[in-house]
Structure 1
């Protein structure tokens, strides 16, 4: 007898708004963004950085700091700008990347922002 509040996604959902409609102007191109994903990312409020790896169009974190679950992402192929369908701690969201000065920032549809180290 599980409570629906305990249901967590372990795959990446591509439902919801078309990703291309969510990505703001000035975001990184798909090609540039895809090459910038691998590496360590600083998450506000989390001491240890998270390392993301890309395999094909799939993105996964090495660590599992989100309720013992990894960051899971799927790159939306066919968009001009990089867009990701993400499952983070069991919750679905979308993400895109921007350059802010010299800093690369991964921005999530829930308002979260990670900085590339």
Structure 2
């Protein structure tokens, strides 16, 4: 069971994207809630274990994440970033909208154009 932390929502998302930069799926366990839900153009994932496994798979093609801007409104954090992958020529502009409670991400909605990934 996840415990409460004293991280702010912004700190939580910084830790989340730091783990992405390191391709460290195990560190995500420290920032994702047990019942985290992800929704995006290419799928829906529920629960900590399935989200960690999904991200571990994604790290196989991610070469970099370039954060452009972060917006914080209470527990809501929207991160705009360029997702660089081995599967696409150009970086993919992505928006990640996360809901953070007690230092843990409970929900993520990702918005991006999936067409470059689908044509590979």
Shorter chain as denominator, the TM-score bin is 0.3 to 0.5
Q: Which is richer in helix?
A: 2
TM superposition score normalised by structure 2:
0.37
